[in-house]
A and B are shown apart, each in its own frame.
Chain A
Amino acid sequence: MTKTTILLDPTSENAPERRKRLPRPADLQGLTVGLLDISKARGDIFLDEIEARLSGKGMKVKRYQKPTFARTAPVELQQKISTQCDLVIEALAD
Chain B
Amino acid sequence: MEKPPDGYIVFCKRACETCATVVPAMKEIAEAIAALTIYCQDDPGFPEGLPGVIDDTALETSFYFDIETVPTLIRMEDGQETGRAVGWDRAEWRRLSGMDGLGGDLPEFRPGCGAKNVEPGIAEELAVRFGKVPLASRRIESPQLEDDVETCFTRGWTDGLPVVPPTEVRVVRMLRGTDRAADEVVGRIPPNQAPCTVEKVAINAVMAGCKPEYMPVVLAAVEAALIDDFCLHGLLATTYFSGPVVVVNGPVTKAIGMNSGVNALGQGNRANATIGRTLQLVVRNVGGGRPDEIDRSTLGNPGKYTFCFAEKEDDSPWEPLSVERGFTKDASTVTLFAGDGVQAVFDQLSRTPESLARTYALCLRNVAHPKIPMAADAMLVVSPEHGRIFSRAGWTKSRLREELDGLLQFPGADLVRGAGGIAEGVPEALKEATLPKFRPDGLHIVHAGGTAGLFSAIIGGWVASGPKGSQSVTKEVRS
Contact = CB atoms under 8 A, between A and B. Distances in A.
Contacts of B140: 6-9, 17
B131 to A, nearest CB: 13
Contacts of B312: none
B192 A5 contact: no
Contacts of B171: 8
Contacts of B155: 19
Given A7-B142, A19-B154, A19-B155, A13 B137 contact: yes
B389 interface: no
Contact of A8 (B166, B194, B288): B166
Nearest to B165: A7
Chain A at the B interface: mostly helix, strand, loop or mixed?
loop
A1 interface: yes
A12 B288 contact: yes
Contact of B192 (A1, A4, A12, A17): A12
A91 B471 CA distance: 58
Interface string A2-26: 1111111111111001010000000
B194 A12 contact: yes
Range of interface residues on chain B? Answer: 35 or more
Nearest to B193: A12
Given A5-B165, A5-B167, A17-B138, A10 B200 contact: yes
A4 B141 contact: yes
Contacts of A19: 154-155
A8 B157 contact: no
Interface string B173-210: 00000000000000001001011100110011001000
The size bracket of the interface on A is 10 to 19
Nearest to B199: A8
A11 B288 CA distance: 8
B286 A11 contact: yes
A9 B147 contact: no
A9 to B, nearest CB: 4
A2 B141 contact: no
A50 to B, nearest CB: 29
Given A14-B192, A14-B194, A19-B155, A8 B147 contact: no
A17 B207 CA distance: 19
Contacts of B145: 1-2
Nearest to B288: A12
Contacts of A13: 137-138
A19 B66 CA distance: 41
Contacts of A1: 144-145
B376 interface: no
A22 to B, nearest CB: 13
Interface in B247-287: 281, 285-287
A45 B167 CA distance: 48
A19 B189 CA distance: 23
Interface of A: 1-14, 17, 19
A-B interface, 6 closest residue pairs, ranked by CB to CB distance from nearest: A12-B194, A9-B138, A5-B142, A10-B203, A10-B285, A8-B137
Interface of B: 135, 137-148, 151-152, 154-155, 157, 165-168, 171, 189, 192, 194-196, 199-200, 203-204, 207, 281, 285-288
27 contacts: A2-B144, A2-B145, A2-B146, A4-B141, A5-B151, A6-B139, A6-B140, A6-B142, A7-B142, A7-B148, A7-B166, A8-B138, A8-B139, A8-B140, A8-B167, A8-B203, A9-B138, A9-B140, A10-B157, A10-B166, A10-B204, A10-B285, A12-B189, A12-B194, A12-B287, A12-B288, A14-B192
Given A9-B137, A17-B138, 9 more contacts: A2-B144, A7-B139, A7-B141, A8-B166, A10-B200, A10-B204, A11-B286, A12-B192, A17-B140
